[in-house]
Every structure is written in structure tokens, then in C-alpha cells.
Homo-oligomer: A and B are copies of this chain.
Amino acid sequence: MARSKLEMSRRTAARAARRQQLIDATMKCIARKGIGSTTLADVAKEAGLSQGIVNLHFLTKENLLNETLQCLAGEYQAQFESTLAKSGPGAAEKLLALVELDFRPSICDRRKLAVWFAFWGEVQSVPTYRKICDELDKHYDQEMVRLCESLITEARYEDLDPVIVCDALSAMTNGLWLSCLISPKTWDRHKAKEAAMTYLRGVFPEHYKK
């Protein structure tokens, strides 16, 4: 009856691993078939496990999808933080590093983009999805606006609104991701990054000369 703490934590770790395994399988399925056509059977099969496994670990499908989106958002945020932390001290450097992040293979991966857009496609009708996205955006915007403000102040781009500039940048990133997703033949992550840089150079010519 008595279970050692060690055993307990082993259990917990095993549980977490299984959950992650199922979330990964879910992403693969969504990328391949879309949210609407992804069944729990598909996910279980992709994970090499049995029918009832998802309900066992996530109780409902809704839950699984929420946690999948949360996982995706968490992953982005983690990389965002670590990028900010690792990059040089200047605002211009940091901003550049964040743009580079968005088009790094681990982020700008067709499978992950497909999953993002699958969720964005339902964001309007599923409140939980919106909440998760909003939370991420809020955090992202805070940091970005701060950086833009620094640049504007530094170089006296007097007529620029930092919020507008920053939001436009993030909008463009999303748009470029959509291009990469829809038209992989004409778009790749390098071209997309170049397009984003066009914008940065346009608004902050002093900082990002070619």
C-alpha cells in the first residue's frame, strides 16, 4: 500500500510522457486531416495505442484539443522567452532575434503552422481557443511594444505609434506563415523572413540598413 515518493514521481513522469505522446499524435493528425476529421481513433492509432486511451488521459476530446493548443502556445512562449534572454542587450538586436525566431525551423514548420491555422479557424467559435491565443498575444505584445518604443525613442521616428508598428509586425508574421502554409512552392521560411525584414527596414531604416 505504501508507495515511495520515488515510485510516485515515476508514475507521474510516465503519465506526463503519455500525455505528451498523445498531444504529439494529435498534432500530426490535425496537420494531416484537419481538426474536424481527426478522430480519437486516429490519434490513438497514430500514437500506437488503443481506442480508449485518450479518454483515459484527457477525459474528453475537447480537453485534448485544448491541451494541444496550450502545448503549442507554451512551446512558442518558452522559445520567445529564451530568445529574449539569450540575445544581446540592445532593443534592435532583440527585435531582430525575435523575428528570426518566427522563421526558425522549429517554429516555422509546416506541420505546426497547419495546426496553428486549424485552431485559428475555430477561434471565433470556440471560446477556449480564443482565450489561449489571447493570453499568448498579450504577453508577446507587451514585450514587443517595449522594444519598439525603445527603437522609436532612440532614433526619433517621431510619428510612429509603437503599438501600431508592433501589431503590424506580428500581423505580418502570421500572414507570412499563412503564405508558407498555403503556397509552399513559392514560399519558404527564408523568403518569409526576408519579407518581414522589408517591413522592419521600412519602419526603422536607421537600425536595419541593408
Report A's interface with B, CB cutoff 8 A: 31-37, 110, 114, 117-126, 130, 133-134, 137, 159-161, 164-165, 167-168, 170-176, 178-179, 181-183, 186-187, 191-192, 194-196, 198-199, 201-203, 210
Cβ contact within 8 Å between A168 and B198: yes
Cβ contact within 8 Å between A175 and B164: no
Q: Contacts A172-B168, A172-B199, A178-B174 known; A121 to B121 CB distance under 8 Å?
A: yes
Known: A117-B123, A167-B186. 15 other contacts (CB 8 A): A32-B125, A119-B121, A120-B121, A120-B178, A130-B182, A134-B182, A137-B182, A160-B198, A164-B194, A164-B195, A164-B198, A171-B178, A171-B179, A172-B172, A175-B176
In angstroms, Cα B164 to Cα A192, docked, is 8
Min CB–CB distance A68 → chain B (angstroms):
14
Which B residues are CB-close (under 8 A) to A168? 172, 176, 195-196, 198-199
In angstroms, Cα B114 to Cα A196, docked, is 25
Nearest chain-B residue to A121 (Cβ)? Answer: B121
- A contacts with B: majority SS: helix
Query: Can you name 15 A-B residue pairings with CB atoms under 8 Å?
Result: A34-B126, A36-B36, A118-B121, A119-B121, A120-B178, A121-B121, A123-B182, A164-B194, A167-B179, A168-B176, A168-B196, A171-B175, A172-B199, A175-B175, A202-B203
Cβ contact within 8 Å between B121 and A117: yes
Min CB–CB distance A117 → chain B (angstroms):
5
In angstroms, Cα B165 to Cα A195, docked, is 7
Cβ contact within 8 Å between A125 and B37: yes
In angstroms, Cα B165 to Cα A21, docked, is 41
In angstroms, Cα B117 to Cα A181, docked, is 13
Most buried by B among A134, A171, A183: A171
Which B residues are CB-close (under 8 A) to A134? 182-183
In angstroms, Cα B203 to Cα A14, docked, is 53
Nearest chain-B residue to A191 (Cβ)? Answer: B164
Cβ contact within 8 Å between A117 and B120: yes
